[in-house]
Amino acid sequence: MAKDKKSESKKGTEDRTEDPGPKTTKTRPEGILVVKGNPEKADAAVKDGGIDTTFFIEAHGNDQEAVAQALKNTLLVDLKKEAGVTLREMKFHPVVEQNKLYAGFVECSFVVRDPQTFMYIALRYGPSAVEVHAPDNVVLTSAELQNMAADLSAAIQVLIGKILERTPQEEKDRLFNQKIKPQK
């Protein structure tokens, strides 16, 4: 059941008017649900050196409600809790059906505190597109670059591990033998 969340909102937290699940009580002319964050806090974070960005995050599946819930749970619950992230707003676009499959996307506008947090959020949420609004230039220390490379490497290793868990042993053996045999 959709609730009016404005009354539950606390200072510094999101301000939304409806639940982005499939049972919303209000409709917008464009069919887009807007969840407000804290633009003043986001502006202050940019002035403190944060990176102002918008991520476009998609979900696809064969169940319309599952797609909507995946976006809602991932973004309204997880992204909001991330350290170093200040939400401006999220725009939930309608989940649409095409060829018996469903797709939806959300425009997430927020500020991250530094380049390493930016890369972490990009790796964790896998946006299909990214816009960086500010600053025009980013300077990294060698330590920041090293930490970002380590985070990237760790994320790739986790992904490879998950892929290998699902790969049959025969396929693993075939790929391994293909790699170690000299090319003719």
Question: Looking at the domain assignment, is residue 32 inside a domain?
Answer: yes
Do 107 and 160 belong to one domain?
no
Question: Looking at the domain assignment, is residue 173 inside a domain?
Answer: yes
Helices marked H in the chain: 39-47, 64-72, 80-81, 115-125, 142-166, 169-180
Q: What is the pTM of this model?
A: 0.72
Q: Is pLDDT above 80 for 76?
A: yes
Model pLDDT for residues 37-67, shown as the tens digit of each residue: 999 999 999 999 999 999 999 999 999 999 9
Do 111 and 134 belong to one domain?
yes
Model pLDDT for residues 5-14, shown as the tens digit of each residue: 333 333 333 3
Largest Cα–Cα distance in the chain? 71
Measured CA to CA, the distance from residue 71 to residue 20 in angstroms comes to 9
Do 134 and 145 belong to one domain?
no
Do 81 and 133 belong to one domain?
yes
Q: Which two tokens stand for residue 15?
A: 């301000």
- How buried is 39 (Cβ within 10 angstroms: 0-12 exposed, 13-18 middle, 19+ buried)? middle
Geometric angle at alpha carbon 138, from 136 and 139, rounded to 5°: 145
Q: Which of 138, 155, 174 is the last residue of a domain?
A: 138
Question: Looking at the domain assignment, is residue 1 inside a domain?
Answer: no
Do 115 and 172 belong to one domain?
no
Do 152 and 131 belong to one domain?
no
Do 109 and 51 belong to one domain?
yes
Dihedral through CA 56, CA 10, CA 6, CA 108, nearest 10?
A: 0
- Phi/psi region, residue 175 (left: phi>0; alpha: psi -120 to 50; beta: rest), is alpha
Do 83 and 147 belong to one domain?
no
Do 113 and 22 belong to one domain?
yes
Which domain covers residue 149, as residue numbers? 140-184
Question: Looking at the domain assignment, is residue 56 inside a domain?
Answer: yes
Axis crossing angle, helix 115-125 with helix 142-166, rounded to the nearest 10: 10
Residue the block writes with tokens 């633009």: 39
Share of the chain above pLDDT 70, in %: 82
Measured CA to CA, the distance from residue 87 to residue 33 in angstroms comes to 15
Query: How many folded domains does the chain comprise?
Result: 2
What integer is the mean pLDDT of 132-139?
A: 95
Q: Are 63 and 71 in contact (CB under 8 A)?
A: no
Q: Is pLDDT above 90 for 135?
A: yes
Peptide bond into 20 cis (omega under 30): no
Q: Which residues contact 92 (CB under 8 A, 6 or more apart)?
A: 20, 32, 33, 34, 35, 71, 72, 104, 106
Do 92 and 160 belong to one domain?
no
Question: Looking at the domain assignment, is residue 49 inside a domain?
Answer: yes
**Three-state secondary-structure class, residue 1:** coil
Do 126 and 159 belong to one domain?
no
Residue the block writes with tokens 């409806």: 18
